[in-house]
């Protein structure tokens, strides 16, 4: 065989990723995998519940409220009472699965943008022919900062990433993978102040007050670190995507030559559609601003606040859907692809068809997560892990790194960042405070660990969502999609996130820089 016809040999890393995918996909179909895991949880709850396993800890309050001592025991789910709940509340368990409504609404909105041709025209107009890494970097920045929209950002970024890469004639899986990694792995970082900052600061304040740990505590106390972290995570996301993910998926991007660019030139009618879409989008944004920022506005809370909670933040999914709808309809009429009102719901229907597999997998996934939470096994794991770390008697940067690693491990089993911090804050804010570490530093270490394995967590609500995206955009009808697919594609991101995000925190600690306005690394001495 000639050199030109010989298959390209994969490096060690790509062969390792392929091995992870193969082993992972040897597991049963995700539907049956969640059924099996549900059975395991039932068995464990019966065994540990009858053994009387329990833990006692001081739970933090929210928003600075006083904490209280809490005792949690493993609940035996193999009882009439617990199993009746599964059957009587089955519809509620399924329909209230957090991403379900969100993914359907976002799919309808983005489906309209995609089916009308707006995304394709916009990408060809703006970034077609640009180096591939610029497209990836832009997607990474959007994904990391998408936590402004809370959970909606985790859905929105991989969806828009798939649409962008598809519009550029590239493998949509690259956009899904990079978008999910950025939105989940970079969830705690941001250029701006998000609701997460206020929520975590309130829990930290409660834990600090309970043990009289001094130090300024406010939503901006990690802001300086998180601004730099946003850039670091964006570069890591771009590097892994271009150097590993693209090679693994056999799509190394690059730039199109002049002939190819001419073939994809935006037509006059498409340009008109983009102008109409731009005008509609700007008008809609101005309307939202008018309904949000003036005192007493529609989207402000009754007390006048926007952060940490308000109708504006609670309405992010609806606001985004309306934005996509308005821009998609405006483009469709401007580009003459929408000729009558009935074309609009038809386009939305076509956009939704690809996500049907997600609706099937969600049923056992929702039941599994319900059982896992009802058993209290996650809390038992978190408290015992914290006790183990305390027994190691570490100091300085070693203690910070150990705390990051503990949080990262617990994060695989408890997906809610606030739920983990409610358990860990009352233990570690005082513990590290006694060693001179400020509450701001303890919270920063927690946030680093809370991010790095979000995209790998098998108990995350978004695992079946991502599997549905991969299924929807697979290029070969016979291509296998399973848990191994997701883990193998996300593993390189998590490893580098953990290494570099932790290194950034240790470097910051070594240099003695403040983490935010007035938030030093150490507790001020009297």
User: 183: Cβ–Cβ under 8 A, 6 or more apart, which residues?
Assistant: 143, 144, 146, 147, 153, 154, 156, 157, 158
Residue 50 pLDDT: 93
In sequence order, what are the beta bridge partners of 58?
69
Q: Which domain holds residue 427?
A: 12-511
User: 329: Cβ–Cβ under 8 A, 6 or more apart, which residues?
Assistant: 112, 116, 280, 338, 344
Residue 64 pLDDT: 53
Residue 4 pLDDT: 39
Residue 114 pLDDT: 79
Nearest to 111 by CA among 339, 455, 356, 477: 356
The maximal CA–CA distance of the chain, rounded, in angstroms, is 77
d(CA 247, CA 184): 22
Residue 281 domain-assigned?
A: yes
Residue 498 domain-assigned?
A: yes
Alpha carbon of 226 to those of 28, 274, 401, 440: distances in Å? 39, 35, 17, 12
Residue 295 burial class via C-beta count within 10 angstroms: exposed 0-12, middle 13-18, buried 19 and up: exposed
Domain count, the chain: 1
Residue 331 pLDDT: 95
Joined tokens for residue 387 = 């006790």
Residue 277 domain-assigned?
A: yes
d(CA 509, CA 522): 10
Alpha carbon of 267 to those of 122, 156, 232: distances in Å? 11, 28, 38
Residue 1 domain-assigned?
A: no
Residue 94 domain-assigned?
A: yes
Quick: pLDDT tens for 279-326: 999 999 999 999 999 988 999 988 888 765 788 877 877 888 899 899
- Kindly report the backbone phi and psi dihedral angles of residue 58, in degrees, each rounded to the nearest multiple of 5, phi listed first: -95, 110
From the CA atom positions of the chain, what is the Rg in Å?
Answer: 24
Q: What is the DSSP letter of 437?
A: B
Residue 365 pLDDT: 83
d(CA 271, CA 279): 12
The segments of the chain whose pLDDT lies below 70 read 1-11, 13, 24, 58-67, 98-99, 123, 126-130, 148-151, 195, 210-211, 252-264, 307-308, 354-355, 524-526
Asked if residues 439 and 201 have their Cβ atoms less than 8 Å apart, the reply is no
Asked if residues 245 and 237 have their Cβ atoms less than 8 Å apart, the reply is no
User: 338: Cβ–Cβ under 8 A, 6 or more apart, which residues?
Assistant: 116, 329, 332, 344, 347
């Amino acid at each position: 065989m000639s050199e030109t016809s010989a298959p390209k040999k994969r490096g060690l890393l790509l062969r390792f990723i392929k091995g992870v995918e193969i082993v992972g996909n040897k597991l049963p179909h995700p539907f049956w995998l969640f059924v099996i895991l549900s059975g395991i949880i039932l068995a464990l709850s019966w065994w540990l519940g009858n053994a009387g396993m329990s833990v006692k800890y001081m739970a933090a309050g929210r928003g600075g409220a006083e904490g209280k001592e809490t005792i949690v025991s493993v609940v035996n789910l193999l009882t009439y009472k617990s199993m009746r709940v599964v059957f009587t509340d089955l519809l509620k368990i399924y329909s209230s699965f957090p991403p379900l409504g969100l993914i359907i609404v976002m799919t309808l909105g983005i489906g309209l943008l995609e089916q009308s041709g707006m995304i394709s025209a916009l990408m060809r107009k703006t970034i077609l022919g640009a180096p591939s890494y610029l497209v990836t970097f832009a997607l990474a920045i959007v994904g990391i900062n998408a936590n402004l929209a809370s959970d909606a950002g985790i859905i929105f970024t991989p969806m828009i990433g798939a649409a962008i890469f598809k519009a550029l004639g590239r493998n949509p899986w690259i956009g899904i993978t990079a978008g999910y990694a950025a939105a989940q792995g970079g969830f705690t970082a941001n250029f701006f102040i998000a609701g997460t900052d206020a929520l975590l600061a309130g829990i930290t304040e409660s834990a600090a007050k309970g043990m009289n740990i001094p130090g300024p505590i406010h939503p901006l106390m990690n802001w300086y670190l998180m601004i730099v972290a946003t850039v670091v995570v964006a570069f890591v996301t771009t590097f892994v995507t271009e150097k590993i993910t693209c090679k693994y998926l056999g799509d190394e991007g690059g730039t199109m030559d002049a002939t190819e660019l001419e073939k994809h030139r935006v037509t006059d009618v498409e340009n008109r559609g983009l102008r109409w879409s731009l005008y509609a989008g700007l008008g809609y944004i101005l309307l939202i601003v008018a309904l949000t920022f003036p005192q007493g506005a529609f989207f402000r809370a009754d007390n006048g606040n926007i952060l940490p909670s308000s109708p504006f933040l609670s309405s992010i999914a609806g606001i985004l859907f309306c934005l996509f709808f308005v821009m998609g309809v405006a483009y469709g009429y401007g580009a003459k692809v929408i000729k009558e009102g009935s074309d609009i719901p038809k386009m939305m229907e076509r956009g939704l068809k690809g996500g049907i597999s997600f609706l099937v997998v969600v049923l056992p996934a929702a039941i599994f997560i319900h059982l896992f939470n009802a058993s209290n096994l996650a809390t038992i794991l978190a408290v015992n892990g914290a006790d183990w770390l305390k027994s190691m008697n570490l100091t300085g940067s070693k203690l910070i790194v150990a705390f990051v690693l503990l949080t990262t491990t617990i994060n695989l089993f408890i997906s809610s960042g606030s739920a983990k911090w409610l358990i860990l804050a009352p233990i570690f804010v005082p513990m590290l405070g006694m060693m001179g570490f400020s509450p701001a530093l303890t919270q920063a270490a927690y946030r680093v660990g809370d991010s790095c394995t979000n995209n790998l967590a098998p108990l995350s609500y978004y695992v079946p969502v991502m599997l549905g995206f991969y299924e929807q955009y697979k290029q070969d009808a016979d291509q296998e999609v399973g848990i191994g697919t997701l883990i193998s594609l996300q593993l390189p991101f998590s490893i580098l996130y953990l290494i570099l995000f932790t290194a950034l925190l240790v470097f910051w600690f070594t240099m003695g820089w403040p983490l935010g306005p007035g938030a030093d690394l150490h507790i001020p001495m009297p």
